[in-house]
A and B are shown apart, each in its own frame.
Chain A
Amino acid sequence: MNDIWQGVVAAFRLVVTLDSGLFEIVLRSLHVTLTAVVIASLIGLPLGAWLAVNRFRFRRATIALLNALMGLPPVVVGLIVYIILSRSGPLGVFGLLFTPTAMIIAQVIIITPLIASISHQAIRDLWAEYHDLLISLNTTRVQRIKTLIWDARRSLITASLAGFGRAIGEVGAIMIVGGNIDHLTRVLTTAIALETGKGDFALALGLGFILITLAVAVNMAIHSFSKTERTGRW
């Protein structure tokens, strides 16, 4: 209990003293995670919609695979991205290893199946409801997908937020491909892992509380911005 209290005090101290190191890693955490969420949403949301609307061979297998990929072990993703981006790997020439870009790539791989799978589920249900109307109105396939994405936007925001939740708290993959380098690739989760390793539990907990606050704040900001949970008027 004492450790937790010290953690709260440490978090408070870091925030009120405007600790520059803290703000640097908070901003980097947000930059890496939000960039990954935007990219994964741009891939995952249309992919989910496309899978919901189209019938093709191996569709069931594709959906099953997508669902299975939701449980991708981050450490394995980190290892594979590490091998691909390392100097001797196929993309080694770009020199991306131990950069925020490598961390973004790893997070995109981890959260895209999650976003695609949740959005597929939401859009599939909506497609079942809209099917006859959209066919009757002679809509094109692209128009159907656009309509479904727009009308399912609240569920899709939830899908993206689920991706954000997974990415902001992720440590295994970004530790491997980012390397937890101070002033370059250190983010909140890797800093927590480092401080825990050093035995500075109060600081680790303090960073943990800031991480939780950040995740809650981003979720609330997005809900507020997208006007979810407001009935009556759209």
Chain B
Amino acid sequence: MVTEKSILPLRVNNVTVSKRDKLILNNITTEIRGSGITVIMGPNGAGKTTLLRAMHGLERIISGKITWNLKQSEARGQQAFVFQTPIILRRSVLNNIAYPLHVRKAENALALAEQWANQIGLGTSLELNALFLSGGEKQKLAIARALICKPDVLFLDEPTTNLDGQSTKEIEEVLLSAQQRGTKIIMTTHNLGQAKRLASDVIFLNQGKLYEQTKAQLFFKSPKTTQAKAYIQGDIVE
């Protein structure tokens, strides 16, 4: 729920994450504030997903600190996460969307979920087994389920990977409308076009290190590092 006291800024201080002796994030420091869409970019293995998951508290960090403007326990309840492969509960579409409200014991959970289902174009599939939805519909369901509690911050991990143009457009519209309602969006993407369409600022990672964090326009117009330049031009990033 978009709270009076802002959950932001999010501060990431000297965060290092390693898995099976492999360094995934190497001493990352950044701060995220504002109400736009922050896009984390970088080539495969850059650490984008790990950084996103670490910010949300899903990764164990071996050193450093991640802090919100609120207490950790309060901040957790005001975030939502949409995974690259949507996690679909073995329930109907309606009950999938209503699930976060059931967890919070909210009233009118089903009525609200129905509203969201109509909004994202799943209004005719309310009682359908959600596992039978198409890839795009599953992702829309996951986004509706994430947004139903009106989070202050929404994390999305490559939300439109493997989706066609129409589904991507619909999802981007949902995200923009959530952002206009006051939800801060932090997402990863490989899609440069999508980043140009959505991003207000960009964090560029490569091999676990943060190379750039700047306004989106500036990043795409005049990247400071050779790695970011190569990435934008579609070259191999060393």
User: Which of chain B's residues have a CB closer than 8 A to the CB of A1?
Assistant: none
- How distant is the Cα of A147 from the Cα of B99 in the complex, in angstroms? 10
B83:A234 contact, CB within 8 angstroms: no
**Shortest CB–CB separation between residue A224 and chain B, in angstroms?**
18
Given the known inter-chain contacts A135-B58, A137-B99, please indicate yes or no for A233 contacting B128, CB distance below 8 A.
Answer: yes
A231:B129 contact, CB within 8 angstroms: yes
Given the known inter-chain contacts A133-B83, A137-B103, A139-B103, please indicate yes or no for A147 contacting B128, CB distance below 8 A.
Answer: no
- B204 sits at the interface (CB 8 A): no
- How many residues of chain B have a CB within 8 Å of chain A? 22
A136:B89 contact, CB within 8 angstroms: no
Cross-chain pair count, CB within 8 angstroms:
48
Secondary structure at the A interface, as helix, strand, loop or mixed, is helix
- How many residues of chain A have a CB within 8 Å of chain B? 18
- How distant is the Cα of A138 from the Cα of B81 in the complex, in angstroms? 11
Q: Mark A192-229, 1 if CB is under 8 A from B, else 0.
A: 00000000000000000000000000000000000000
User: Which of chain A's residues have a CB closer than 8 A to the CB of B129?
Assistant: 231-234
With most chain A CB atoms within 10 A of its CB, the pick from B57, B81, B103, B128 is B103
**Shortest CB–CB separation between residue A55 and chain B, in angstroms?**
14
**Shortest CB–CB separation between residue A135 and chain B, in angstroms?**
6
- A129 sits at the interface (CB 8 A): yes
B132:A232 contact, CB within 8 angstroms: yes
- B27 sits at the interface (CB 8 A): no
Please give me the residue from chain B that is nearest to A131 by CB atom: B87
- How distant is the Cα of A217 from the Cα of B202 in the complex, in angstroms? 63
**Shortest CB–CB separation between residue A88 and chain B, in angstroms?**
51
- How distant is the Cα of A139 from the Cα of B89 in the complex, in angstroms? 14
Residues of A bordering B, CB below 8 Å: 126, 129-130, 132-133, 135-139, 143, 147, 151-152, 231-234
